[in-house]
Every structure is written in structure tokens, then in C-alpha cells.
Amino acid sequence: MKYFAAVALSAALSLYPCASVLALSLHGFVGGAGGFRLTDDPAQARDATMGEGRLQVELSQDGPADSRLFFKADLIGDGVEERGDADLREFYLDVSPAQVIDIRAGRQILTWGTGDLIFINDLFPKDFVSYFIGRSLEYLKVGSDAVKFSLYPGLFSLDLVAVPHFTASEVPQGERLSFFNPFTNRIAAPGESLSILSMRKPAATPENTELALRLYRTFGSYEGALYGFRGFFKEPVGMDPAGGTLFYPGLSVYGTSVQGPLLGGVAGFEFGYYDSREDRPGRNPLIENPSLRYLVGYERELRTDFTVRAQYYLEQMLEHGAYKASLPPGAPEKKEYRHLLFLRVTRLLRYQTVELSFIGFYGPSDEDGMVNPQASCKITDRMSVALGANVFFGKKGSTQFGQLEKDDNLYLRLRASY
């Protein structure tokens, strides 16, 4: 796939002189980003968390009858992993075979739901490593190889996504960021990366095709949605001690969300029932339990160009008793309720060309969290720079942010768009 992306990218670049003749639209950016650790991490050999140059090429070509071909890929020179790489971000075809149907086929980024950096019904792959080391927000999302059908019969709208080929989320696995090794019950040692422990992905068979559905409509100023998903966890939350592997257990999700104006701001609520199909009774501690997940969010512009968003997330393990009874001695115990608080504060200055932002997560139940202050500036219409830090804290290595406790980093990004 990488080779294909590289070939497609060079082909695309060679088309540049003909772009205007073909009515192609060609855009992208050249950028550099660097980041380094603020504390010494005994589990990590390198001080750098990021050091890369990127060339992004985006091509789009309108075809007959509202069709469109879209291509976006990055060529990357990576100083941390000391290699060159090509990343095919998106490559899809849009067609509208009828007035009320849109179809998008190919590698595409999919996003839905009401959360800000907290996802319940959005079960499409994400790259949390990129987010935690300070890449720009677009790299939080990873493309899925999928077909999306969107239907607009009138009273409501419907998105139906079929993903024949499973794509996992990127999670910390020891290469740039530390991770908690569930087999040894401690933060992994240097060189001990998750990719060395093998991660078993679901086979690309017809019955493993993931399906995601969203049914939505507006009620005046309010938006309501119902969601359904049948597929697999995107994080490796299943363990196979016999084979020494981690895997992605079967998952079905049923959820709903509402969003609309409240007290001069916007409020949202989202809910999901996570049916962990391979451990419904919750007696297998090696597979994630079924759970209920709730998210309440509220955002308001407190004064001009000063916006605050707060979120409260609750994850309720459904079979906690069975889980606790089956837990081997010495294994870290997850609590029945996991609470997570989120705050985002954004201030725009100088005709909205300077943005100061602060993002904070705090989990009172896991006693962990992170903060991400960032200052960014659009130097000109084409040039931008961002400087920020990610600081993690946590008492236990087994929690989401606790495992990253020694991965605090400072990052700087520069980008020139064309």
C-alpha cells in the first residue's frame, strides 16, 4: 500500500504542469515538525518524540454528473524512525446515482458524533500517537477503506458505511510513547514495543466486514441521531496469553445523540451501549467488558473570540462483579465507573490570526489526565506556526494517561501551504 501511495503521489506530482489543462485542482503543503521529551524516560532510548518533514499533495477532479475523484497523500521524511514514508491519507470517488443518494467509495476519513476528542459512536480509526506527540489535528483521524452510502429520502438522512478491510487505531506502543504491557503488568522496557508482541487483526473476510450506520435529522434547531455499529474494537483490548498476542475483539454498539442551543451556547448529549460480543457475561478478564458510555458537552462563546467547552464522560462497566471475580491476583483492577472531565479554552487574537488554546483531560476515577496548551499563528495567509506542549500525569501506569507519564513533550510545527 505504501508503494502504491508513493507511485500514485509521484504520478500526481508529474501531472502538475497539466493540472490547469485537465481542470484538476492541486493543493497541499510543505511542513516540518519537531518535538522532544521534557522528562527523562527510562523506557525510551530517544529524546525526540517527533522530527519530520512532510509534503502533502491533494488533487481533486470533478467528473460528469456530480462525480468527483479525490486524492490526498503525504510524503514523509521521519527523523525519529529514520526512514522515508508515504501515507495515502484519502483516495476516493464520489458519485450521486440519484437525487437522494450519494456514494463515496475508497479510502476515506469518517467522522460523526457530538464529542470533542472523546468518541462514543464514532468507531472509525484514530491515531492517538499523532495527537499525543503534537501533530496537527488532521492526523488524529485515519482513513478507512470503505464504501459509504448516504440516503436523503426527506424526513431523515441515513449514512451506511461498509468497511471490508479492518483498520486499527494507532495507540502508544513503545516506539515514540511508552505503553503499559498487560502481559508483564508494567510500563514496557526499552525496545519492548507492542509491535513485537504481535497484534492480531480480524481477517478480511466477508463476515468480518464492519458496518456502521447513522440515522439523523433536525428538529428545528435541535439535531437528533441514532447510531449502530457492528465490527471490532479499534484498540487491542483483547489478550491471548497462550499466543502472546493482543487482538481486537468483536464489538457492536447501539447509540444516540442530541445537540442544540442551550443558554446562549450549544449543548450535546451522546450515549452508546458497547456490546462486547466475545465477553457478554464479563467473566473473561482478558477481553474488554460490555459497557454503557455517556457524554455531556457544553460550549459557549463567553465573550468575543473567547470560547469555552466542557465535557463530562462516563463509562460504566456492565459486568463488573463477574469481571472482578475472574481477575487474576496482581492484575490491575479497572473500576466500575470511569469518569473523565474535559475542558477546552480558545482565545483568538489579532484578527483571528493568533490562537491560544488550552485542552485538559482529568480522570478522577483513574487519577490521570493530560494538558495541552498551544499557541499558533498565521504569519501570512500561507505560512503558519504552532508551538505547544503535552503534559501527562497519572498515579498508575495501567491507565490511559498514566502510562504516558514520562512522555511529556514540547513541539513546534511550521507549515507553508500552496
Partner 1 sequence: MAKRCFVWFSAVVLLFLPIGGLFSRALAGTPGEAEEIMRRSALVQFYSGNDMRANVTMRLLSKDGGERVRELIMTRRNVKAGGDQKYFILFRQPADVRDMTFLVWKYPQRDSDRWLYIPAIKLVKRIAANDKRSSFVGSDFSYEDVSGRAAEEDNHALLREEKYEGKEILVIKSVPKDAKSADFGYKVSWIDKGNFVLWKEEYYDKRGSLSKVFTADEVKPIQGFPTTVKRTMKNVQTGHWTETAYGEVKYNLGLADGVFSERSLRNPPKELAR
> Which residues of this chain interact with partner 1, rule CB under 8 A?
27, 29, 66, 94, 102, 108-112, 114, 137-138, 140-141, 150, 152, 154, 157, 216, 221, 223, 259, 261, 264-266, 268, 299-301, 303-305, 307, 309, 348, 351-353, 378, 380-382, 384, 417-418
For residue 14, the minimal CB distance to partner 1 (Å) is: 22
Nearer to partner 1 by C-beta: 135 or 338? 135
Grid coordinates 460528469 are at which residue? 64
Nearer to partner 1 by C-beta: 3 or 351? 351
For residue 58, the minimal CB distance to partner 1 (Å) is: 9
Nearer to partner 1 by C-beta: 45 or 155? 155
Nearer to partner 1 by C-beta: 293 or 309? 309
Nearer to partner 1 by C-beta: 34 or 297? 297
For residue 109, the minimal CB distance to partner 1 (Å) is: 5
Task: Tell me how crowded residue 352 is: count the other CB atoms within 10 A of its CB.
Answer: 9
Q: How are beta strands 144-151 and 101-108 bridged, if at all?
A: antiparallel
For residue 102, the minimal CB distance to partner 1 (Å) is: 6
For residue 309, the minimal CB distance to partner 1 (Å) is: 8
Nearer to partner 1 by C-beta: 110 or 295? 110
Nearer to partner 1 by C-beta: 126 or 334? 126
Q: What is the CA radius of gyration of the chain?
A: 22
For residue 154, the minimal CB distance to partner 1 (Å) is: 8
For residue 415, the minimal CB distance to partner 1 (Å) is: 8
For residue 189, the minimal CB distance to partner 1 (Å) is: 35
Nearer to partner 1 by C-beta: 36 or 216? 216
